[in-house]
Structure 1
Amino acid sequence: MKPTRLIEDPDEYYRASVVSAEVLEVGNNSVILKTRAAMQSKKPVSSADSEMLSRLRLSAVGESVEGRLRIDAVSDDVFRFRYAEGCAVPENNTLMVVGRPAKCRRCRIHAVSDRVRIRTDKAALDVHLSPYRVEASDLRGRKLCGISGPEKDNFACWDAVNTGICRRRSDGRPAAVECFDLRPGEAVYGFGERFTRLNKAGQTVDLDMVDALGVTTPRSYKNIPLFMSTSGYGVFFNHSCLMTFYVGSRSSVDIQGVLDDDFLDYYVFLGDMKTILSLYTDVTGKGSLPPKWTFGYWQSKISYKSADETLEIARKLREHDVPCDVIHLDTHWYREDWYCDLEFAPDRFPDPAGYLSELARMGFKVSLWQLPYIPSGSKLFEDLKAVDGFVKKSDGSIYDCGICFTPGFREKGGVVGVVDYTNPEAVRVHQDAFRRLFRLGAKVIKTDFGEAAPLDGVYHDGTPGHRMHNLYPLLYNRAIFDVTKEETGEGVVWARSAWAGNQRYPLHWGGDNSPNWHNIIPQMEGGLSFGLSGFQFWSQDIGGFCGKVDEPLLVRWMQAAMFLSHSRIHGFGDREIYKFSRKTFLLCREYIRLRYRLLPYIYGSARRCVEQSLPLMRPLALEFQDDPNTWNIGDEWLFGEHILVAPIFSPDGRRRAYLPQGEWTDWWTGRRFAGRTWLDLEAAEDRIPLFLREGAVVPMGPFLPYVDAEPVREIEIRVAPFTKKGKTRLDIHVNGNWIPVVYECSPSGHVLKAAAAGVRFKVKMMGRPAPPARMAAG
């Protein structure tokens, strides 16, 4: 059993939960409390017990446990809680926390006999001292969040455990525990890329970095210790240990977090979900905008093997007028498949620099696969070994993770070392190996894997394995992102694993899906959940990775994938669309071309997403949080702010789709629909249901073979007109310049403003009948 699931068996642990507190110190923006808990064990209880309400179902097994609880008003709507047994709370500086929100403008702390009130210009905390409990509210008195307090079931069966430390009976191993109220009907989101239902209410979520082996289970490559609620709050745990969250799955009225640690450190954010995402990234770091070319189409499979093969594919893509910006070399660009020594196979890539130069001449960037597990027998292994660059065992030997699928490697006694990114010299050696590849002409690295940092490993900087296992993807991707930016001038990776803070190092894809209809929506729901965990950019393998894809499925998958932040086809078997039937080829190419025409909208929206810390692939619940109909929708999304996407995920082409508040315009027909309505749709094989939000501004450029292949001379702007007064602005990138496009509806009419030297703007007002519009100088 995971150490964070110990509360599932009350007979197997002792509990020291905070029952009361007293004020020790009041600062300008903080309060320190002395807490009291008692080490207790579970006592049997019966519903026939006549004294059930008069005593706790606990048996004391020790003296009272003294602790400290510190609450800081970090800003007007962010509060930090730290709890530990003993006489001090840890400072707990972590690699996840790199910033802070705007300082608290005015904080008033008032302590009386039974409570402490902390009031800012936006919120209030009431800290009840006996029994200990915290309630957060807005300035209108509306309760947003309840923390800790006595169990809500008077039988006290330990179905909910409040603030404190539990210890396993067998060995005394600690687990820190916290508890938050869960209201009837409340929706909860976050925890990273989860392939279960988008609303996590009712689920048990383990934050444990694993190779998920698919996209239809609770296992996850990207675990983020952040959750948000439709009640108006979010919580970020500033820990990197294993965690388990019971979101109403043990006690239906509680969210419980159990951490493999001996203290608590968490931030509470107050506000709507958009505000929470912005505040969270104030603390853990803002995202960055990937290079413009990454928003083009990525051509890949497992695996291209030679320069001749990929040069021929590049020529065929251009001959068939398939737009494409990136060709990815997966596991077999090495001399042996999967043998990650960062060296091109000399027989199949005899002139790497010339090869990469020829692809660049045709407008292609090259992506290279690797992983942070280095096989013995290579120069790279020896270079890292020479600087103690691998994670160690307790006896000082190299920790062999065993992850190398090169045929015969394990049978020959090969060892696979895990790069220790806590060692600056290991980072230097590994980055230098990538510098050579970038100087040859490579542009981006696929940072595959990263989930297998050993829990019992010994790390150079002394970080315990139980705190490094989940944190490892942050260090790993940071190292590769940084050297990519240093050498190419542009920061980007193509990453599989992630922890809190990884949004600083985009971008990520959704792992190893399977080519069947059942995988489409769990995969997409994973991306939506990831977006609700502080990440702006996400992609996945078009058509399904683990097997060959059939043509009707490929078409539908391709349609949906063009409306994600990034689009890459990848998997086993043929993945070049010109190798499929003429019908499938034309349908797929049409949608790739549509994506390229939409690039002014996509890139402009991406920049805005970074500024606002919002995902480009956006759950309806994020834009329409006050509409409970959106809370459980994980099979449609907004692409940016303005395009609603309702993908087809069954062979019959039918589905139901929800349109939230406002007026919506069918992209294909111009028909208008009133919002807050469900539609029964049947889409022809060449159509994916798309709807424009009222006030939408969607700039479209010309068809180009790759991003910025030539200067843009004309921009078509599609507008879904407001039905009342309104204004929309989107800045777009044209010919190297950012220009504002502004649409405004007023009693005097519809006006669109945009200007760029040498570019003509053409306006298309959507709808039947479409209102007239006037184009004004920018």
Structure 2
Amino acid sequence: MFKKYYLFLLAFLFQIFPILTFAQQSIYKRIGNGIVLQINAPLSNIGRQIKLEVVAPQIFHVTVSPNQLFANQQSLMVVDTNRSITKWSLTETKTAVSIHTDSISATIDLVTGRISYHKKNGELILGEKANGRSFVAVSNSGEPSYQLMQAFNSSPEEAIYGLGQHQDDMMNYKGKQVLLLQNNTDVAIPFLLSNQNYGILWDNYSITKVGDTRTYQPLSSLKLFSTDGNSGWLTASYEDTPSKTVFQQRAESDIDYSFLSDMKKFPEGYKLEDGLVKWEGKISSGYTGVHNFQVKYAGYIKIWIDGKLLVDKWRQAWNPGSAVVGAEMIKDKKYDFKIQWVPDGSESYLSLKCLMPIPVEEKNQYAFLSESGDQIDYYFLAGKNADEVIGGYRKLTGKATLMPKWAMGFWQSRERYKTQDELLGVVKAFRDREIPLDNIVLDWQYWKLDDWGSHEFDSDRFPDANGMIKQLHDTYHTKLMISVWPKFYTGNSNYDYMNKNGWLYPRNVVNKQKDWLGFTSTFYDAFNPSARKAFWDLMNKKLYSKGIDAWWMDATEPDVHSNLPIESRKELMSPTFLGSSTKYFNAFPLQNSKGVYEGQRLTNPNDRVFILTRSAYGGLQRYAAATWSGDIASRWEDMKSQISAGVNFSLSGLPYWTMDVGGFSVEKRYEKPNQTDLAEWRELNTRWYQFGAFVPLFRSHGQFPFREIYNIAPESHPAYKSMVFYNKLRYRLMPYIYSLAGNSFHKDGTIMRGLMMDFSADKAVNNINDQYMFGSSLLINPVYKYKATSRELYLPSGTGWYQLYDGKYFEGGQTINAKAPYEIMPIYVKEGSIVPFGPEIQYTDEKPADTLTLFVYGGKDASFTLYEDEGVNYNYEKGAFSTIKMDYSESTRSLTIQNRQGSYSGMIAKRTFKVILIDSKHPKALEFNQKITKTIYYSGNQITTKL
């Protein structure tokens, strides 16, 4: 009350006595690339100092300190090597000071400390919220720090994307809460991208809430009624499934069985593995509006409100999933409420929390709220479009290192190949069946059972690891990726070496906590540069020296011990070399990949590094690291949620993403399926495979049943035929895909593109969470419903669209019901596109990409730039690559292939292009043996051909 009165009085005084404002007490000074403002106003949450720096014409850096000094520490995310001198100017009034570049401006209110950002013409882009900044002093393991918050105003039409990878099936995060907390299946990246063509990079490593930062409340924050009408609780029934009896019935007000430590809350003697639990009654709220319910679940869960089924999911007991669902409720109205839960395991997890409707005054805002930091530190990035904003993110955090070309091919994996013969047998089966393959993945436990972290092959199961790798390379032309965890079992020589030097987190060992195999372990401290070097040296000595091609860096959240409360997780990674685990919690995967990348490049400066990691953070793209979406379930709803997860990850500035095609964890009904379940299993994998062929990296992986195409279905089955078709189609598209990869480095491009990137004028695309662009030409529309033979999809406006398979033309700006028979996923090509297809190949470097077939989709002018380099080394960083730009003119119906730019060793000097022109009146199927419109013989010089 006092604060509100004080602010009112302050505002009144400003109006009556403008000469006496606190602006006169605020002092700013120029520094090399900006200004520092000393705030003397008594409003402590403004901060004591504000630094506003120009990083580039469209990038400002803001640092707000609650003290008289700024914290002087090196950012883990942002690199300084790309800083350049930018021309800027300064203007001031009695109450504000502004910095102008040639593109944008930033203004600091000298009274309130609020910052606003404007276009060159003065139009507002973004403004900090009044009283939207706070510093709360905290202590983390004796380390002084602050809980930090910065809020921004948000226009009603704004949509918000990025922020990493999350499993809530959301595309637009406006009005939602996004929790940046590294976890198996959730990836925290503190970069927000707006459809208003700006971004915020929040330079903080602690657990952070973004958007609606209010705390989710226990279920008891609602009014609860039992089945008997008693107020204050729900009726919980713990049933024993085998005996079909109720083991116990009791009153429960909160449902919170989130972690291992919560298992004791269940009724004593109750066997979850045989259980069926129901919570029933009624609920009501003191508010009208959308109530968001956050459910953490393992096993089978169904939730009904007012008879409507809102949640129907399954997740393996050892790795719970999460979901957020909204329900419209009217104040004080009672709603029927029911939860039905089958734990499906002896240890299983369930919690349900809720968030009341957003207050009216908070609807058009979002905020960053971090647990720990020395000061508020963020970057504002503007651009003409989303690509430019992402380009600004890469300027700050580093280029997206170009992956080896073979990584664009197909990878086969499973949990796990247990022997050398088993692994080689799978690769041979692919080659015998002529199913294209570039990479085989060797998952965990190639070591002896009790020797995790030794990096040693179990000689009983892998008697000749060197010979196996040589055979993969020389006979089968296949790369080998191997699993390496940041984990060490006590007792082996690697543990002893790391422990002796103080490079391990000790708490898990002191606690004598065992993992799921029954052994005690811990992780190394990736924040320690000496520990990172030692970790790589062990990998190099034991694995890289054998010829390993790539690294699968698992459990990099870090998952020292699963299913523990957050505070316990912090204890297990404490202390870090840099400071408290609270302060640096989210940055472990970045530092882990940094050590491997820098170590391999120092060991072998020639061959490209490739890392696949289960978690990520801002800047990871500079360390040749891709991310996969973790141990997701083999369910239709999980497949669908990967679409928005992958797109938002890509919109976070990191271009390389993948998933376990088919899902990782499998329901028991699929392990020994009846005919009905087998049919669904095959269709699920087929649909997922179709989707997986059009993400940046194409990789099949999961638990039993085995995931190889020929193990899913026989050759005569439509599932097998469809999966082989899409595998081969991806390899045909390799010139297109590798050009996208080249563009991601050279032009800061994005491969898996949210629709708002290419169709920003079409507001209908803002909330679409089940379609995306693969490159700028292909509209991908996964089918994620069982037995579906069609799906509804939206064709963005402003352009026409061609159905890929038959060339039929459709007007944009409409929703259609597209045909989607079992073997086909709907794909549409944007009008005015050139899509190059290469020859049919079994692996990416089997033969030169000549002849190329260019499908030209007319109706509008089109262009495409073919990118090529040596594919396996870093010569592209030194200029060893070529580009060939192709331009189609609709008015003259001619194709111009421009002069080749650049060169590299092994380049095809003379090549052949076969051209197939498609327009709205002349549809043509996706066939490579059809009549060619024109054949062009090209030797590197510009040539124009009438079509």
The TM-score bracket by the shorter chain reads 0.7 to 0.9
Query: 1:444–1:484: 8 Å Cα contact kept in structure 2?
Result: no
Distance between the aligned counterparts of 1:586 and 1:338, measured in 2? 41
Is 1:728 the counterpart of 2:864? The answer is yes
Is 1:165 the counterpart of 2:271? The answer is no
1:588 corresponding residue in structure 2: 723
Match of 2:545 among 422, 435, 439: 439
Q: Return the offset for 1:192.
A: 0.8
Q: Letter of the aligned partner of 1:477 in structure 2?
A: S
Is 1:335 the counterpart of 2:448? The answer is yes
Structure 2 CA distance for partners of 1:725 and 1:702, relative to 1, 3 Å:
closer
Match of 1:424 among 529, 533, 554: 529
Match of 1:559 among 684, 690, 693: 690
Q: Return the offset for 1:173.
A: 6.9
Deviations for 1:419-462, whole angstroms, at most 9, x for unmatched residues? 11233332233212211312212111100111137534444634
Deviations for 1:462-510, whole angstroms, at most 9, x for unmatched residues? 4222222211111101112333443471111011111111111221111
Distance between the aligned counterparts of 2:389 and 2:871, measured in 1? 35
Distance between the aligned counterparts of 2:627 and 2:451, measured in 1? 21
Q: SS at 2:87's partner residue?
A: coil
Is 1:263 the counterpart of 2:236? The answer is no
Q: Return the offset for 1:667.
A: 0.7
2:226 corresponding residue in structure 1: none
1:450 corresponding residue in structure 2: 556
Query: 1:702–1:715: 8 Å Cα contact kept in structure 2?
Result: yes
Q: Return the offset for 1:176.
A: 1.4
Query: 2:833–2:862: 8 Å Cα contact kept in structure 1?
Result: no
Structure 2 CA distance for partners of 1:94 and 1:77, relative to 1, 3 Å:
same
Q: TM-score scaled to structure 1, two decimals? A: 0.86
2:107 corresponding residue in structure 1: 126
Is 1:679 the counterpart of 2:816? The answer is yes
Distance between the aligned counterparts of 2:608 and 2:861, measured in 1? 41
1:483 corresponding residue in structure 2: 599
Match of 1:710 among 828, 832, 847: 847
1:760 corresponding residue in structure 2: 912
Structure 2 CA distance for partners of 1:734 and 1:698, relative to 1, 3 Å:
farther
Q: Letter of the aligned partner of 1:759 in structure 2?
A: R
1:499 corresponding residue in structure 2: 617
Structure 2 CA distance for partners of 1:540 and 1:399, relative to 1, 3 Å:
farther
2:191 corresponding residue in structure 1: 226
- After superposition, residues 136-215 of structure 1 pair within 5 angstroms as 136-150=117-131, 162-167=132-137, 174-196=146-168, 197-212=170-185
Deviations for 1:690-711, whole angstroms, at most 9, x for unmatched residues? 1111222221112211111133
CA RMSD of aligned residues (A): 2.8
Structure 2 CA distance for partners of 1:713 and 1:175, relative to 1, 3 Å:
closer
Q: Relative to structure 2, which stretch is displaced further, 448-457 or 711-720?
A: 448-457
1:373 corresponding residue in structure 2: 487
Q: SS at 2:39's partner residue?
A: strand
Q: Letter of the aligned partner of 2:413 in structure 1?
A: S
Match of 2:394 among 262, 275, 281: 281
Distance between the aligned counterparts of 1:312 and 1:553, measured in 2? 25
Q: Return the offset for 1:235.
A: 0.9
Q: SS at 1:542's partner residue?
A: coil
Query: 1:74–1:80: 8 Å Cα contact kept in structure 2?
Result: yes
Query: 1:750–1:774: 8 Å Cα contact kept in structure 2?
Result: no
Query: 1:513–1:523: 8 Å Cα contact kept in structure 2?
Result: no
Q: Return the offset for 1:130.
A: 2.6
Q: Relative to structure 2, which stretch is displaced further, 374-383 or 757-766?
A: 757-766
Structure 2 CA distance for partners of 1:66 and 1:324, relative to 1, 3 Å:
closer
Q: Letter of the aligned partner of 1:610 in structure 2?
A: F
Distance between the aligned counterparts of 1:338 and 1:20, measured in 2? 66
2:333 corresponding residue in structure 1: none
Q: Return the offset for 1:74.
A: 2.0
Deviations for 1:77-107, whole angstroms, at most 9, x for unmatched residues? 1111111122122233212111366645421
Identical columns (%): 24
Structure 2 CA distance for partners of 1:617 and 1:425, relative to 1, 3 Å:
same
- After superposition, residues 544-623 of structure 1 pair within 5 angstroms as 544-547=663-666, 548=670, 550-573=681-704, 574-579=706-711, 580-582=713-715, 583=717, 584-623=719-758
Q: Letter of the aligned partner of 1:304 in structure 2?
A: Y
- After superposition, residues 662-701 of structure 1 pair within 5 angstroms as 662-701=799-838
Structure 2 CA distance for partners of 1:403 and 1:448, relative to 1, 3 Å:
farther
Q: SS at 2:866's partner residue?
A: strand
Distance between the aligned counterparts of 1:351 and 1:636, measured in 2? 46
Q: Letter of the aligned partner of 2:815 in structure 1?
A: W
Q: Return the offset for 1:36.
A: 4.4
Q: Return the offset for 1:338.
A: 8.4
Match of 2:794 among 631, 639, 658: 658
Distance between the aligned counterparts of 2:920 and 2:469, measured in 1? 50
Is 1:363 the counterpart of 2:477? The answer is yes
Query: 1:600–1:733: 8 Å Cα contact kept in structure 2?
Result: no
Q: Return the offset for 1:108.
A: 1.4
Distance between the aligned counterparts of 2:654 and 2:139, measured in 1? 39
1:294 corresponding residue in structure 2: 407
Deviations for 1:532-587, whole angstroms, at most 9, x for unmatched residues? 11101111001110015800111110011000111111111211111223312222
Match of 1:745 among 889, 897, 906: 889
Q: Relative to structure 2, which stretch is displaced further, 447-456 or 272-281?
A: 447-456
Q: Relative to structure 2, which stretch is displaced further, 235-244 or 17-26?
A: 17-26
Q: Return the offset for 1:764.
A: 1.5
Query: 1:101–1:282: 8 Å Cα contact kept in structure 2?
Result: yes
- After superposition, residues 507-546 of structure 1 pair within 5 angstroms as 507-546=626-665
2:244 corresponding residue in structure 1: none
Deviations for 1:704-725, whole angstroms, at most 9, x for unmatched residues? 111111334422111112x244
Structure 2 CA distance for partners of 1:467 and 1:401, relative to 1, 3 Å:
farther
Q: TM-score scaled to structure 2, two decimals? A: 0.71
Query: 2:45–2:135: 8 Å Cα contact kept in structure 1?
Result: no
Query: 1:299–1:568: 8 Å Cα contact kept in structure 2?
Result: yes
Query: 2:118–2:126: 8 Å Cα contact kept in structure 1?
Result: yes
Distance between the aligned counterparts of 1:403 and 1:183, measured in 2? 50
Q: Relative to structure 2, which stretch is displaced further, 82-91 or 294-303?
A: 82-91
Q: Return the offset for 1:281.
A: 1.0
2:351 corresponding residue in structure 1: none
Query: 1:541–1:568: 8 Å Cα contact kept in structure 2?
Result: yes
Distance between the aligned counterparts of 2:548 and 2:85, measured in 1? 46
Distance between the aligned counterparts of 1:203 and 1:181, measured in 2? 15
1:4 corresponding residue in structure 2: none
Q: Relative to structure 2, which stretch is displaced further, 253-262 or 629-638?
A: 253-262
Q: Aligned residue pairs: how many?
A: 711
Q: Letter of the aligned partner of 1:578 in structure 2?
A: Y
Q: Letter of the aligned partner of 1:590 in structure 2?
A: F
Structure 2 CA distance for partners of 1:567 and 1:337, relative to 1, 3 Å:
farther
Structure 2 CA distance for partners of 1:656 and 1:334, relative to 1, 3 Å:
same
Q: Letter of the aligned partner of 1:357 in structure 2?
A: K
Q: SS at 2:702's partner residue?
A: coil
Q: Relative to structure 2, which stretch is displaced further, 105-114 or 248-257?
A: 248-257
Q: Letter of the aligned partner of 2:610 in structure 1?
A: V
Q: SS at 1:451's partner residue?
A: coil
Query: 1:305–1:333: 8 Å Cα contact kept in structure 2?
Result: yes
Structure 2 gaps, min length 5: 4-9, 12-20, 214-357, 561-568, 671-679, 873-880, 901-907, 924-932, 941-947
Query: 2:738–2:867: 8 Å Cα contact kept in structure 1?
Result: no
Q: Return the offset for 1:166.
A: 2.8
Distance between the aligned counterparts of 1:593 and 1:711, measured in 2? 16
Query: 1:531–1:614: 8 Å Cα contact kept in structure 2?
Result: no
Distance between the aligned counterparts of 1:64 and 1:446, measured in 2? 44
Q: SS at 2:80's partner residue?
A: coil
Distance between the aligned counterparts of 1:569 and 1:124, measured in 2? 48
Q: SS at 1:225's partner residue?
A: strand
Match of 1:635 among 762, 770, 773: 770
2:577 corresponding residue in structure 1: 461
Query: 1:342–1:370: 8 Å Cα contact kept in structure 2?
Result: yes
Distance between the aligned counterparts of 2:543 and 2:45, measured in 1? 60
